[in-house]
């Protein structure tokens, strides 16, 4: 495994992401996306765990994690990549978490699809978030990513149908968007909102931010 050139600093915020090798699709159906989200919960632990994969009845959310490796503020899974807003608790814990997460998903993926060779495009990418304005922006950027699936040029020309777009986001289950809307679901447990600035103390403040971005037209 390659060595990261820049050390990740404790209590700093990072936007981490990775995509499929050669931009290939790595999440093909509901099962893949829900499995990856379950791994985001279970892999966030210093404890080792038995891989949760095909045919395993236990829920990853029942795993006794003990001490966590990282705090997760938001996430989004797209067909060929993913985004996570994250901060680490101890030295090296982001790298350890990401290694556990991607290794576990590759094992699941290879078994399900009888796949060989590299799945991800090398080591995960990380972007240090040093400005508060940019940190707040990332919550919107990550949660609005799925709009590209129904309108690729929305950032350039604006959203063509806001009602349809909001309905699509509401029905898109593979991000933390629903968790910020206050929807009760098991995936709420992935997030550690208390570790991040309270930009959105309630559904109304979060929705207002999203509306502002959807109304933005270059």
Give per-residue pLDDT as tens, 152-177: 999 889 999 999 999 999 999 999 99
Instruction: Give the rounded percent of residues in the chain with a pLDDT score beyond 90.
Output: 82
Q: Any idea what DSSP says for residue 212? A: H
> Residues 55-93: pLDDT tens digits?
456 788 988 899 999 999 999 999 999 999 999 999 999
Instruction: Specify the pLDDT at position 218.
Output: 47
Residues in the chain: 218
Q: What is the DSSP letter of 65?
A: -
Any idea what the Cα angle at residue 163 is, between residues 217 and 158, rounded to 5°? Answer: 15
Q: Residue with structure tokens 């709420």?
A: 188
Q: Report whether 35 contacts 111 (CB < 8 A).
A: no
Beta carbons of 80 and 145 less than 8 angstroms apart = no
Taking only the tens place, the pLDDT of each residue in 13-23 is: 999 999 999 99
The CA R_g of the chain, rounded to the nearest whole Å, is 17
Model pTM? 0.93
Mean pLDDT of 140-154: 96
Instruction: Indicate the domain borders of the chain.
Output: 13-215
Rounded to whole angstroms, the Cα distance separating 37 from 101 reads 10
Burial of 155 from C-beta contacts in 10 A (0-12 / 13-18 / 19+): middle
Greatest C-alpha distance within the chain: 48
8 A C-beta contact, residue 203 and residue 154? no
What CATH number belongs to 13-215? 3.30.70.1290
């Amino acid at each position: 495994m390659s060595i990261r050139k820049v050390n990740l600093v404790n209590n700093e915020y990072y936007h981490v992401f990775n995509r499929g090798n050669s931009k290939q699709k790595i999440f093909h159906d509901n099962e893949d996306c829900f499995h990856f989200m379950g791994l985001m919960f279970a892999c966030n632990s210093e404890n080792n765990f038995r891989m949760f994969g095909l045919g395993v009845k236990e829920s990853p959310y029942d795993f006794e994690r003990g001490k966590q490796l990282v705090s997760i503020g938001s996430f989004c899974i797209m067909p060929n990549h993913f985004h996570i807003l994250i901060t680490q608790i101890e030295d090296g814990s982001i790298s350890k978490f990401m290694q556990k997460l991607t290794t576990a998903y590759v094992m699941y993926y290879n078994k399900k699809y009888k796949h060989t060779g590299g799945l991800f495009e090398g080591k995960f990418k990380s972007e240090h978030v040093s400005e508060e304005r940019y940190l707040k922006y990332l919550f919107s950027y990550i949660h609005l990513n799925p709009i590209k699936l129904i309108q690729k040029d929305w950032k350039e020309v604006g959203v063509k149908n806001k009602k349809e777009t909001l309905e699509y986001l509401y029905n898109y289950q593979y991000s933390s968007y629903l968790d910020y809307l206050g929807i009760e679901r098991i995936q709420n447990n992935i997030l550690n909102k208390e570790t991040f600035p309270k930009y959105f103390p309630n559904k109304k403040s979060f929705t207002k931010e999203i509306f502002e971005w959807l109304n933005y037209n270059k």
